[in-house]
Structure 1
Amino acid sequence: MAELDQTAANDTLDALQQRGAAFLGTRHAILGGAMSWVSERHLVSAISNAGGFGVIACGAMPPALLEKEIEATKALTDKPFGVNLITMHPQLDELVQICIRQQVGHVVFAGGIPSGAHIKAAKDGGAKVVAFAPALVLAKRLVKFGADALVIEGSEAGGHIGPVSLTVLAQEILPHITEVPVFVAGGIGRGEAMLGYLEMGAAGVQLGTRFAAASESIAHENFKKAFIRAAARDALPSVQLDERFPVIPVRGLINEGTKRFMRHQAEVVQKFQSGELDKTAAQLEIEHFWAGALRRAVIDGDVETGSVMAGQSVGMVTSVQPVAEIIAALRAQALAALVARGTGA
């Protein structure tokens, strides 16, 4: 009977993720979150080769560099992968054209709501368009604009975050957006959670933090060790000291850099109040504090003063594992949960 249960559980899980897997062209409906400096050819190809869907983080790359990264990724995998483009990039038009020229199957727009023109350009070029929807009203607008799929990312995620948890976003959006696949992200670290969201109507899941510490990730050994040491409570959003000087919330591990940022904000506000800096100069000085900080942490291994972006699922990172093992563990946990409650019995 246990073997029958296992077979039934496999069939159930495959059925739950069938829509997402078919959309991505993959074995598993698991996206790799696009993380600057981390989501490059090695990690992206490893995720795709393991049956997931790797996504290159274009970030601030100029067009020529993105093209090289796409070509290098193609040399490492013949499986589907996508490219994440930041909507505020000054050369977004050129980046979209490079994705089209390189026949990238999926373009993921992030960092803002893409224009209808950019969505149309990508789709006309043969790509499927994925966009991030931080609220139901925006999800509906993106579907109307022509997005082929959506990602809803909760505040549990690492890096730049919105104010709402995935638990709430999923309840707000999943029952009402059925025209396109909706993938969920933020704080997902185990297969039981993946299963739960699939049963709520999600087409699949996106994971970043778990993959950032994978053996195929080029992140520095110090960066990965910081993840292994950390608990969920260590991954906190950056704090805004003065409402006159907005700070975009970024979730990362608390370190000396985050403490210095608080002191830096206080010093800048004091300079503004004394007339030493005008409002624009003060805002720029606050924003420039973290310039290059993510690279320092990821590439150079400076996890004390660098920006160690991590989601709250970091507490579930207990070792450096190959991507294939991470994906296999997620599936095994989901299957065990199905079997435990007697699916197919």
Structure 2
Amino acid sequence: MDTSRIEQLMARGAAFFGTRYAIMGGAMSWVSERHLVAALSNAGAFGVIACGAMEPPRLAEEIAGTQALTTMPFGVNLITMHPRLEQLVQTCLDAKVGHIVFAGGIPPGSAIKAAKDGGAKVVCFAPAFALAKKLVRSGADALVIEGSEAGGHIGPVSLTVLAQEILPHIHDVPVFVAGGIGRGEAILSYLEMGAAGVQLGTRFVCATESIAHANFKRAFIRAAARDALPTTQIDERFPVIPVRALVNEGTKRFMAHQKATLDRFTAGELTKEAAQLDIEHFWAGALRRAVIDGDVESGSLMAGQSVGMVTREEPVAAIIAELMDQAAAALVQRGQSALQPAL
């Protein structure tokens, strides 16, 4: 299938990344490490390392490991609440990483400035139109708008709505869409709405190059969209960002942990920031048990609602080729439909 027209629609996003396709890999802790990231970049997409709870020396190792597997551009995703955020930014700059993605909250202006002054392009997540405008004013070079259909930490609004609210109005920087995207037809639709490209995470979990445990991959292949549900907040005094995952015993354990952490916060044993960091450490450990150790009962199975479109294990290059072919075929079909006489 000739995908040249789709590549033209992706041109702005691809130029921003320095890649063939404006397809950005979602940063998934323990999954988005050197092997998957390099495979994405080598296949013409843009891989992104998930730093998660890594300390600067560990991140430096992962960047170097990725650079040993690809000469193509890739980025690093940093969680804004990490206590050593600015050191992590410097770690990326020292390794000549060209794109730094800030996630999990609004990044401090000092971190954005340090990244840009060091020569990196800054990508930020915008969960609302007002924040999108604020982030552009703060120096973001590109935005990702991620709907609640996504896996892992999510906002409250679907991509369908966010795209309508933001894409017609933000033109100064490229805007990438994310959340629930699993087929090329959807990619085409968002490109036509004005998106510069897309971010996909769940679709790549079962890539051949993904180091995720076979049990983890099997859970994804078996799952339907309705199996990926968000966690609930148990007390409005202690806001916890919902996490979308396949429901299992680990989901129940998180609810118990959230209550215990809330009790410690209420008793004055933890500050709000320390309590939220404790929650993040819980997720990091639970996710590792599932992804690395294969404990799909008590570990965390973070997954987006597009998990129902993950039906087999296959190479990254094959997944990307399928997505691009689907988008190109949809574009051809639209052209043919336009030529058909009305009945």
Task: Choose which of 15, 31, 35 in structure 2 pairs with 1:22.
Answer: 15
**Corresponding residue for 1:91?**
84
Given residue 302 of structure 2, which amino acid in structure 1 is its aligned partner? M
Taking a change above 3 Å as real, the CA distance of residues 103 and 325 of structure 1, as seen in their structure-2 partners, is: same
2:319 counterpart of 1:329: no
2:297 corresponds to 1:304: yes
What is the letter of the counterpart of residue 110 of structure 2?
Answer: A
State whether structure 2 residue 163 is matched by structure 1 residue 170: yes
Matched, 1:119 2:96: no
Residues 137/309 of structure 1: CA separation in 2 closer, same or farther (3 Å cut): same
* Map of 1:194 onto structure 2: 187
| Contact in 1 for aligned 2:53/2:284 (Cα 8 Å) | no
1:154 to 147, 150, 168: 147
Q: Percent of counterpart pairs with the same letter?
A: 73
Which letter does structure 2 place at the counterpart of 1:310? Answer: A
**Cα displacement (A) at 1:66:** 0.6
Counterparts of 2:118 and 2:82 in 1: how far apart (Å)?
A: 19
2:240 to 247, 265, 269: 247
Query: Gapped runs of 5+ residues in structure 1?
Result: 1-5
Which residue of structure 2 aligns with residue 339 of structure 1? 332
Q: Which amino acid aligns with 2:296?
A: V
Q: Indicate the SS of the match to 2:102.
A: strand
SS at match of 2:100: strand
Alignment of 1:1-345 (within 5 A): 10-262=3-255, 268=260, 278-280=266-268, 287=279, 290=283, 292-342=285-335
State the alpha-carbon separation in 2 of the partners of residues 277 and 24 from structure 1: 42
CA separation in 2, counterparts of 1:80 and 1:289? 32
TM-score, with length taken from structure 2: 0.91
Q: Relative to structure 1, is the Cα distance of residues 19 and 278 closer, same or farther in structure 2, using a 3 angstrom cutoff?
A: closer
Displacement of 1:263: 5.8
CA distance in 1, matches of 2:109, 2:255: 39
Between stretches 40-49 and 97-106, larger displacement belongs to 97-106
Give the corresponding residue for 1:3: none
Shift in Å at residue 277 of structure 1? 9.3
Instruction: Rate the CA distance shift 1:246–1:92 in 2: closer, same or farther, 3 A.
Output: closer
**Aligned CA distance change for structure 1 residues 140 and 243 (closer, same or farther; 3 Å):** closer
One-letter amino acid of the counterpart of residue 79, structure 1 = M
Letter in 2 for 1:97: Q
In 1, the alpha carbon distance for the partners of 2:265 and 2:26 equals 38
* Distance across 2 between alignment mates of 1:42 and 1:291: 19
d(CA) in 1 for partners of 2:52, 2:160: 27
Instruction: Give, in angstroms, the shift of residue 60 of structure 1.
Output: 1.0
Deviation at 1:244, TM superposition (A): 4.5
Task: Check conservation: 2:224, 2:307, Cα contact below 8 A.
Answer: yes
**CA distance in structure 2 between the partners assigned to 1:277 and 1:89 by the alignment:** 19
2-structure distance, mates of 1:256, 1:23: 42
Whole-Å separation in 1 of the counterparts to 2:265 and 2:175: 45
Cα displacement (A) at 1:342:
1.7
Gaps of 5+ in 2: none
1:291 CA drift (Å):
5.9
Question: Could you say what secondary structure the match of 2:31 adopts?
Answer: coil
Aligned to 1:109, the other structure's residue is in SS state strand
Q: What is the deviation of 1:12?
A: 2.4
Residue 120 of structure 1 and its aligned partner are, at CA, apart by: 1.6
What is the identity, as a one-letter code, of the residue corresponding to 1:117? S
| Distance in 2 separating the partners of 1:117 and 1:246 | 25
Q: Which amino acid aligns with 2:77?
A: N
Q: What is the SS of the residue equivalent to 1:252? A: strand
CA contact (8 A) 2:249 2:297 kept: yes
**1:259 offset after TM fit, Å?**
3.2
| CA displacement at 1:59 relative to structure 2 | 0.9
